[in-house]
């Protein structure tokens, strides 16, 4: 599988580490009213869809960047790759 | 007290061999340091890099070589490596100058360099390297960090058929073995 890195071009997936669901980018506010429930959701609950999924990949054997990859988990087709730093909070 | 004569021992002890017309030799250097760009100071770092090394700070996956033969590699948006093969005033002058803008870590003992050179070098590398080595994609002077035989490697293209591969010195023996085996099997 090739991941088309936004800065470096297509790179072999062996250079990356899969770091899970991209919901980890949106950490709940600990001051919010139901923060306990939100953190339970943030820490443990995942949708695990069969289809389009936004996920985090870390380019460990490369430039050490974090990527937000939109991938179809059924076909493994990669639909979009962005730098996580450019998308956080959007 | 006995007078000790200390000598630096390189990870591959000066290894050099030719296999299938590919010359494989340890690439020796005196110093290797990493430069990290502190948050929101890229402009200051660019000016400092130019002042310290006499060359502009390279773009990502590009390199520079200055008049003294010092190499600078940019391997990430905020990370560079500077390799000094043998310039004598590097530690006394260049490093203190770079310290004024960058976070610096000495990595001299952490990395081992191997130079591979020869007409069949691409055939040998294609067996272990997942990168596209065509010159359109990986031009002379480019540098990339990747994985070869499960080991972290920084690959630098010196000429069309000459590369320097930096791997962690702790696993340099295993990496050299992969290079030797790949060279034999082309």
B126 touches chain A (CB under 8 A): no
Measured between beta carbons, the chain B residues lying within 8 angstroms of A12 are 130-131, 146-147
Supply the pLDDT for residue A89.
Answer: 54
CA distance B16 to chain A (A): 27
Q: Residue A52 sits in a domain of what CATH number?
A: 3.30.2270.10
Distance CA B22, CA B49 (A): 35
Rounded mean pLDDT for each run of 10 residues along chain B, 186 residues in total: 82 95 96 96 96 96 95 95 92 95 96 97 96 95 95 96 97 96 96
Q: Which residues pair with B86 in a beta bridge?
A: none
CA distance A72 to chain B (A): 23
Domain count, chain A: 1
Question: CA A27 → CA A39, A49, A71, B39, B119, distances in Å?
Answer: 8, 21, 22, 22, 53
A63/B77 CB distance under 8 A: yes
Supply the pLDDT for residue A90.
Answer: 54
Domain positions in chain B: 17-28+109-184, 31-108
CA distance A69 to chain B (A): 19
B130 touches chain A (CB under 8 A): yes
Q: Is A42 exposed, middle or buried (0-12, 13-18, 19+ CB in 10 A)?
A: middle
A62/B145 CB distance under 8 A: yes
Interface test with B, best of A7, A12, A16, A61 (most B CBs within 10 A): A61
Distance CA A47, CA B121 (A): 47
Measured between beta carbons, the chain B residues lying within 8 angstroms of A7 are 60, 77
Q: Tokens 């990669």 label which residue?
A: A78
Q: Which CATH number fits domain B31-108: 3.40.50.2300, 3.30.365.10, 3.30.1280.10, 3.30.70.1520?
A: 3.30.70.1520
Element (H, E) at B147: strand B143-148
Fold of B17-28+109-184: Gyrase A; domain 2 (3.30.1360)
Interface test with A, best of B76, B155, B166 (most A CBs within 10 A): B76
Model-level ipTM above the cut of 0.95? no
Q: Which residues contact B174 (CB under 8 A, 6 or more apart)?
A: B149, B151
Rounded mean pLDDT for each run of 10 residues along chain A, 90 residues in total: 94 95 93 94 94 96 95 96 82
Range of the domain at A76: 2-26+35-87
A55 touches chain B (CB under 8 A): no
């Amino acid at each position: 599988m090739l991941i088309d890195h936004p800065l470096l071009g297509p790179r072999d997936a062996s250079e990356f580490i899969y770091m899970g669901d991209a919901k980890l980018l949106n950490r709940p506010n600990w001051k919010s009213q139901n923060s306990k429930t939100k953190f339970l959701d943030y820490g443990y609950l995942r949708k695990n869809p069969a289809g389009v999924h936004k996920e985090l990949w870390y380019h460990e054997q490369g430039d050490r960047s974090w990527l937000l990859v939109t991938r179809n988990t059924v076909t493994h087709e990669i639909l979009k790759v962005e730098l996580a730093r450019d998308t956080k909070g959007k | 007290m006995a007078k000790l004569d200390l000598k630096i021992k390189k990870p591959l002890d000066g290894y050099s061999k030719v296999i299938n017309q590919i010359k494989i030799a340890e690439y020796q250097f005196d110093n290797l340091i990493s430069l990290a760009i502190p948050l929101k100071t890229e402009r200051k770092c660019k000016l400092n890099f130019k002042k310290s090394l006499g060359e502009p700070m390279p773009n990502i996956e590009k390199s520079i070589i200055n008049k003294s033969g010092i190499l600078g590699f940019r391997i990430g948006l905020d990370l560079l490596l500077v390799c000094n093969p043998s310039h004598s005033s590097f530690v006394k002058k260049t490093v203190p100058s770079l310290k004024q803008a960058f976070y610096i870590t000495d990595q001299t003992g952490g990395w081992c360099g191997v130079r591979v050179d020869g007409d069949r070098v691409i055939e040998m590398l294609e067996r272990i390297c997942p990168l596209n080595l065509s010159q359109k994609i990986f031009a002379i002077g480019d540098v990339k960090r990747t994985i070869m035989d499960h080991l972290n490697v920084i690959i630098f293209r010196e000429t069309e058929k000459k590369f320097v591969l930096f791997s962690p010195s702790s696993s340099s023996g295993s990496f050299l073995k992969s290079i030797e085996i790949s060279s034999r099997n082309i």
